[in-house]
Structure 1
C-alpha cells in the first residue's frame, strides 16, 4: 500500500519522534504532530465553535490551553491535506480517539513499550544547548566535552520538565490519560506492539518490518 496511514503511540521518552521521522522518510508520508498542526493552522477561523477566541493563535499567544474541540478540528484539517501520514502525539485520550475514528481509517497502529525506569533514565539524561537547541544525552549521546555543545560551544542545560519529579509526573499523566487509548486500539487489525528498549536502529528494524507486513 502506498501512502500508508500510521499512528504511533507510546509514553514520553519512548522514541516516537525519532521513529516517526524514519517512517516519514521511508514511506514518503507526512509526519503530523499536534504541535506542528497547531503552528501550521494557527490562523484557522474557529469562530463558529463558540470558543473564547476565534483562532488557535489567540490561545497560543495568551498562553492558554487549546481546547480539545479546536485540536480535533486542526488535526482533521492536517489529515485531510496529507497523502499518507504518521500521526504522533494524538490522540491523547479516549475522547480524541473517538474523534479520530471519524476523521480517517488507520492502516497500522504502532505502540512503543519501554520500561518506566528506562524512560526516567532517558528523559532525565537529556541535555539541550541553550544557544542552538542541539540535543544530547549524558549516557547515550554525550558531547565531546561535558556540558559544552559540539556544534556551537554553548552551554548544555537540562529542561525544567526533564527533572526527575517532572518526568515521573508526566509518566503518571500518560498512564492515566493515554494508556487507555492503547487498550482501545488493541483489537484493531493493524495494531502491533514494538519493544522500544533496543537501540534506535533495532527499534526501527522492528517498526519497518511491522509496517511492511501490514501494508502492500
Structure 2
C-alpha cells in the first residue's frame, strides 16, 4: 500500500516542487486540485443539482467550481491512486472534514515560510512572453538580466506576481486555509518543516517524515 501524504503551505512555500519530488521518490501519485479538475472536467454532475452539469461548464464560464464538486473530484482521484501526495486541498475546514471521511492520512506536513519571504519569492518570478520559460530574479536568474536565455525576448512580470496581488493572495490564504493548518495542529498530527531552507534540505526533512510514516 502506498502512503497517503498531505502537504500544506502558503502560495510560494514550495509545495509543488516538494510534492513532485516526493511523488517520484516514493512512487506516489501527485494529486493537485487543478490537475484533478482538468482530468475530470467532463464528469457528469447533473445528479448534484447544481447550475451546470459538468465542472468544465464552470471553468468555461470563469466561475469557481463549487466545493461539493471539488470534493467529488478529489475523492475520485484519491480512490484511483495506490498512494498519493495531496497538494492544494483542503483549502478550507469543510474540505478538511470531508477529507477525513473519505481517506486516512499517514502524514500531514506544513511548509512554514515567513510572509516576507513568500512575497520575495512570488514577486521575483519573471516569464518569457515568447517561449514561456520561467525565471526568478534571485533563485533562477537569466544569464543577462531581463532577457530570456532561450530566445532572447524581454522578460515580463505577470500581473498576478505584483506585490499588491501577491499580498491579496496571501491574505485570502490566511483567511481560508490557515484554519486548516490549525485544525491538524490541534489534532496533533501536523509536522512543521522549515520551508526557508534550500529546496534540497527541505526535501530531506520532508522525506524523513514520510519514511517514518
Q: TM-score, normalised by structure 1?
A: 0.95
Alignment of 1:75-94 (within 5 A): 75-94=74-93
Alignment match, 1:126: 125
Instruction: Tell me how many residue pairs correspond in the alignment.
Output: 213
After superposition, what is the alpha-carbon deviation per residue over 1:127-184, rounded to whole angstroms, capped at 9, x for unaligned? 1222232221101110112222222333322111110001111111111110000011
Alignment of 1:125-144 (within 5 A): 125-144=124-143
Structure 2's unaligned 5+ residue stretches are none
Deviation of 1:15 (Å)? 0.3
Deviation of 1:109 (Å)? 0.5
Alignment of 1:106-125 (within 5 A): 106-125=105-124
Alignment match, 2:197: 198
Deviation of 1:188 (Å)? 4.3
| CA distance in structure 1 between the aligned counterparts of 2:73 and 2:129, rounded to whole angstroms | 31
| CA distance in structure 1 between the aligned counterparts of 2:16 and 2:114, rounded to whole angstroms | 18
Q: TM-score, normalised by structure 2?
A: 0.96
Alignment match, 1:149: 148
Deviation of 1:196 (Å)? 0.2
Deviation of 1:190 (Å)? 4.3
Alignment match, 1:30: 29
Alignment of 1:1-216 (within 5 A): 2-188=1-187, 190-214=189-213
Deviation of 1:13 (Å)? 0.5
| CA distance in structure 1 between the aligned counterparts of 2:170 and 2:199, rounded to whole angstroms | 21
Moved more, 92-101 or 151-160: 151-160
**Residue pair 1:107, 1:190 contacting (<8 A) in 2 also:** no
Structure 1's unaligned 5+ residue stretches are none
